[in-house]
A and B are shown apart, each in its own frame.
Chain A
């Protein structure tokens, strides 16, 4: 059993970063996630593990500092909230194009624009459809507890390095701000020079010595070759879809109806399920843990067994599109959500389910 603590989601991100051997954090303050960098600055990990923490001049700069660090084979991360992630869109596209690993945490707040600092899941499209320009994907993890905030930092780095691709933890102000019991991971040392050489030796810019020079670039002016690069990216995303889908299924065995929800919405929906079951409605829940790759096959299989789906989101209806694609018209797919920073209640979700899906 690891060390148990009562911690805020945002604080856990910082602690987990230090413990998993992260080399560098670069960030810019924004509510509701400023505790990540604040916790790091209090912890002073540079004295402990040598991890670098730097407050950048903007999110544009932070994501590009990640590009710099990642190019040298280092484990680098940033965290922000929605408006800041929009500023990182350019950098994320470049990182994906140069096939560089890094971890980005989005503690979502409601938009559009400056919106409000209250929680939201309205950056779903931005996260799973790429975020910046060009055909690319981020690996997107959606924690539903403070424990998963802890676990997904290490997992995010593992996947990012395995696929040489940016990974994102897509969470929101509810999970960032709430306190829960968490079992912390044990300390893992940062990679040594030799380990970086072993893990990233064929691409990292560590100084040209006894080998061809390494170039971290997303540029390829020859369109035939650029198409080849894109084909390689697409093959990689396919591989990710085949190997890395993660989800949780709750009470789906006997279910007539399935709620699809992630993150904090999934937490609320667990209560809705309980209420519905007490009323004799057989409801199950599919909680995608990876939003890209999306559990399309699982939903497709469920579609052959149930009467309908409802996608419950703190957005105006984004994930529902992916649920619909997976269900492919076999049974009805409905959506319910509150947004603009409003969190739905378990009761209104049950009502919406009855009204939209079950009828009456």
Chain B
């Protein structure tokens, strides 16, 4: 049988989402970014919000995310994506606005911007890709790098006295009254991918209902930065990252109302 006889609409069991472009991704083998991009594209497609969605890409390995999702995009300076998203959403409140940020971008240089965007309860989705390392610049320590983890700038492993503690920024933003849905997921297995997709879809739906800041952390791998194979990376993530960054919903509530905070 010729392949042309097989490729027919009635035989179709899987189709690439139209929100994903045909551009070849620049990500390394085993990198989580590509999977997360695909999930995002599927969610935007399934919700039918391609025309209403505006993405903000960070500085980091996903700086070129705008080449892969066929929506309008802004490319931010390092760490500033939440400020850009604030500008977009305040002036275009009907849009679905999201930022896509790495751990260096969000939890180090952009800590002020993410904290205040979450605290104002900006009606945006934040996709936070935590691979515990600076992928793009060649594998230096990130704020989320684990104690003892070897990176280019912690060649003997992260030391507490020298570098301080790994930052659980997701738990921090969950404390802020402006966030409504805060969750931590991963994408190393089909089941995990499905869970993450569900979480991201919920986050976008919440933004549609003006529920405030939606924060989805995806604990991720960086084989090139960690200098181990993709398969070993998944194992390393499960063994070392999951205990410190436990998966699951951290907060699922309504953005808090103003009355509680008013002066008398």
- CB–CB A91/B112 < 8 A: no
CB distance from A49 to the nearest CB of B (A): 13
State which of B76, B90, B95, B113 has its C-beta within 8 Å of the C-beta of A69: B90
A54-B72 in contact given A65-B84, A67-B84 (Cβ < 8 Å): no
Report if A207 contacts B (CB, 8 A). Answer: yes
- CB–CB A68/B74 < 8 A: yes
Report if A76 contacts B (CB, 8 A). Answer: yes
- CB–CB B112/A65 < 8 A: no
Q: Work out how many contacts link A and B, with CB atoms closer than 8 A.
A: 124
- CB–CB B87/A65 < 8 A: yes
Could you say which residues of chain A place their CB within 8 Å of the CB of B115? 57
CB distance from A206 to the nearest CB of B (A): 7
Complex formed: what's the CA distance from A67 to B50 in Å? Answer: 22
Residues of A272-329 at the interface with B, using a CB-CB cut-off of 8 Å, are none
Complex formed: what's the CA distance from A205 to B66 in Å? Answer: 12
- CB–CB B77/A94 < 8 A: yes
Closest to B113 in A: A61
Complex formed: what's the CA distance from A91 to B73 in Å? Answer: 17
Could you say which residues of chain A place their CB within 8 Å of the CB of B75? 98, 215-219
Could you say which residues of chain B place their CB within 8 Å of the CB of A90? 77
Could you say which residues of chain A place their CB within 8 Å of the CB of B219? none
State which of A64, A98, A217 has its C-beta within 8 Å of the C-beta of B87: A64
State which of A52, A76, A216 has its C-beta within 8 Å of the C-beta of B74: A216
State which of B53, B63, B73, B85 has its C-beta within 8 Å of the C-beta of A216: B73
- CB–CB B87/A69 < 8 A: yes
Report if A230 contacts B (CB, 8 A). Answer: no
CB distance from A189 to the nearest CB of B (A): 15
Complex formed: what's the CA distance from A217 to B92 in Å? Answer: 19
Q: Mark B37-81, 1 if CB is under 8 A from A, else 0.
A: 000000000000011111010000001101000111111110010
Complex formed: what's the CA distance from A71 to B95 in Å? Answer: 13
State which of A74, A205, A209 has its C-beta within 8 Å of the C-beta of B73: A205
- CB–CB B52/A217 < 8 A: no
Q: Mark A96-124, 1 if CB is under 8 A from B, else 0.
A: 00100000000000000000000000000
Could you say which residues of chain B place their CB within 8 Å of the CB of A209? 51
- CB–CB B72/A68 < 8 A: no
Complex formed: what's the CA distance from A90 to B113 in Å? Answer: 15
- CB–CB A213/B90 < 8 A: no
CB distance from B228 to the nearest CB of A (A): 27
Interface size on A, residues (CB 8 A): 38
CB distance from A62 to the nearest CB of B (A): 8
Report if A10 contacts B (CB, 8 A). Answer: no
Report if B116 contacts A (CB, 8 A). Answer: yes
Report if B88 contacts A (CB, 8 A). Answer: yes
- CB–CB B52/A72 < 8 A: no
Report if B91 contacts A (CB, 8 A). Answer: yes
- CB–CB B86/A71 < 8 A: no
Report if B169 contacts A (CB, 8 A). Answer: no
CB distance from B174 to the nearest CB of A (A): 19
- CB–CB A54/B90 < 8 A: yes
Report if B83 contacts A (CB, 8 A). Answer: yes
- CB–CB B52/A69 < 8 A: no
CB distance from A134 to the nearest CB of B (A): 12
- CB–CB B83/A68 < 8 A: yes
Residues of A73-103 at the interface with B, using a CB-CB cut-off of 8 Å, are 74, 76, 90-91, 94, 98
A69-B83 in contact given A57-B116, A208-B71, A213-B73 (Cβ < 8 Å): no
State which of A65, A72, A205, A218 has its C-beta within 8 Å of the C-beta of B86: A65
Report if A66 contacts B (CB, 8 A). Answer: yes
Could you say which residues of chain B place their CB within 8 Å of the CB of A26? 87
Report if A333 contacts B (CB, 8 A). Answer: no
CB distance from B199 to the nearest CB of A (A): 24
CB distance from B125 to the nearest CB of A (A): 15
Q: Mark A336-351, 1 if CB is under 8 A from B, else 0.
A: 0000000000000000
Could you say which residues of chain A place their CB within 8 Å of the CB of B77? 64, 67, 90-91, 94
Complex formed: what's the CA distance from A60 to B91 in Å? Answer: 19
Could you say which residues of chain B place their CB within 8 Å of the CB of A60? 80, 83, 112-113
Complex formed: what's the CA distance from A213 to B63 in Å? Answer: 16
Could you say which residues of chain A place their CB within 8 Å of the CB of B83? 56, 60-62, 64-65, 67-68
- CB–CB B74/A24 < 8 A: no
Could you say which residues of chain A place their CB within 8 Å of the CB of B84? 64-65, 67-68, 71
Complex formed: what's the CA distance from A214 to B53 in Å? Answer: 12
- CB–CB A67/B54 < 8 A: no
A208-B66 in contact given A57-B113, A68-B56, A91-B80 (Cβ < 8 Å): no
Complex formed: what's the CA distance from A72 to B54 in Å? Answer: 10
- CB–CB A24/B90 < 8 A: yes
- CB–CB A219/B87 < 8 A: no
Report if A39 contacts B (CB, 8 A). Answer: no
Beyond A94-B76, A213-B73: 14 further Cβ-contacts under 8 Å? A61-B113, A61-B116, A66-B87, A67-B76, A67-B77, A67-B87, A91-B80, A205-B72, A207-B72, A208-B50, A209-B51, A215-B72, A215-B74, A219-B64
Binding site for B on A (CB under 8 A): 23-24, 26, 52, 54, 56-58, 60-62, 64-72, 74, 76, 90-91, 94, 98, 205-209, 213-219
Sample of 30 A–B contacts (CB below 8 Å): A24-B87, A58-B112, A60-B113, A61-B113, A64-B76, A64-B77, A67-B80, A68-B74, A68-B86, A68-B87, A68-B89, A69-B91, A71-B74, A71-B84, A71-B88, A72-B91, A72-B92, A76-B87, A76-B91, A91-B77, A94-B76, A205-B72, A207-B54, A208-B70, A208-B72, A215-B72, A216-B73, A217-B66, A217-B75, A219-B64
Q: Which 6 residue pairs across A and B have the least CB separation, nearest first?
A: A68-B87, A64-B83, A217-B75, A65-B87, A68-B84, A205-B72
